[in-house]
Amino acid sequence: MKSGKPFTHITKLLPNLPCISAYYDDPETVPAEDCRYICGVVLSEGLEDFSELDTIHRARDYGFRIHDFPRAERVMKTCFPFTTSISPTIGAMKVYPKLAKYSKEKKINANPYLEICKDDTIHYMCILGENKDFIVEECRD
């Protein structure tokens, strides 16, 4: 899966905003080139009226689409420190196998996997149960 380059691109275009990525396929069962994912930035966190419309327009000007994720009711979540440029890679190598193993052992439907980089922390989570609102149009089956 090659999400690093788009992730770096969006953070350069819209700095100072938390980054988000969503991964929809299991890289253990789906070839890397076929794994579906999205990446972007968090424009708003639960605010009814987002006052920085220029940021939304700028994101659209760069070709990004706006998607509104609902508040997740049930998640499996953990965090990893974001201290260096390789923290996301190390965190993913440590966290995702453990989340996947736990969800398989407990027979939990955990999908998609979300990653939010905010300040000095990477938040890893999987949506439990109903998840259709977390699957963007481009990644629907």
What six digits make up the tokens of 130?
């109903």
Positive/negative CA dihedral, 74, 7, 17, 43? negative
The string of pLDDT tens digits covering residues 103-141 is 889 888 888 899 999 989 999 999 887 777 887 777 776
For position 83, what pLDDT does the model report?
A: 95
Over residues 78-90, the mean pLDDT reads: 92
pLDDT at 73 over 90: no
Rg (CA), the chain: 15
Query: Domain 4-139, what fold?
Result: Multidrug-efflux Transporter 1 Regulator Bmrr; Chain A (3.20.80)
| Predicted local distance difference test score (pLDDT) of residue 50 | 57
Q: Looking at residue 139, what is its pLDDT?
A: 76
pLDDT tens digit string along 14-47? 778 888 888 888 888 889 888 888 888 887 776 5
Given a cut of 90, whether residue 91 has pLDDT beyond it is yes
- Calpha distance 31→3 (Å, rounded): 14
Q: Give whole-number Cα distances, 62 to 3, 12, 115, in Å.
A: 17, 11, 22
Would you list the domain boundaries of the chain? Answer: 4-139
